[in-house]
């Protein structure tokens, strides 16, 4: 199955959702290339970027599930296919 490379940007505004967020990321762990989290205490948020290599429907499902969590915002950016030599 053809996969895409994407970056999922996540803003966490409610710490109460962190457990559910981590459980979701764990479920999709096989597709995660890397993850970086930055606590931005001045603004009271956490900023997380997750690089994935997965089928487009899997990436969409992950982003959608993340976005449904209260206090979580998630947006996905896909790498151009031609830039990846596909």
| pLDDT, tens digit (0-9, with 9 covering 90-100), for 15-57 | 888 999 999 999 999 999 999 999 999 999 999 999 999 999 9
Q: What is the pTM of this model?
A: 0.88
Residue 13 binned pLDDT confidence (cut-offs 50, 70, 90)? very high
Distances from the Cα of 70 to the Cα of 4, 25, 63, 65, 84, angstroms: 27, 16, 13, 11, 34
- DSSP state letters, 40-73: ETTTTEEEEEEEEEE-HHHHHHHHHHHHHSTTEE
DSSP, res 28: T
pLDDT of 55 reads: 96
pLDDT of 15 reads: 86
| pLDDT tens, position by position, 70-79 | 999 999 999 9
Question: Would you state the structure tokens that stand for residue 17, as one six-digit string?
Answer: 């959702």
């Amino acid at each position: 199955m053809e996969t895409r490379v994407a970056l999922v940007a996540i803003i966490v505004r409610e710490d109460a959702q962190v457990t559910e967020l981590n459980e979701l990321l764990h479920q999709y762990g096989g597709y995660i290339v890397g993850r970086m989290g930055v606590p931005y205490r001045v603004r009271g948020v956490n900023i997380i970027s997750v690089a994935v290599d997965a089928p487009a429907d899997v990436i969409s499902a992950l982003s959608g599930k993340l976005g449904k969590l209260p206090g979580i915002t998630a947006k996905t950016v896909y790498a151009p296919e031609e830039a990846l030599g596909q």
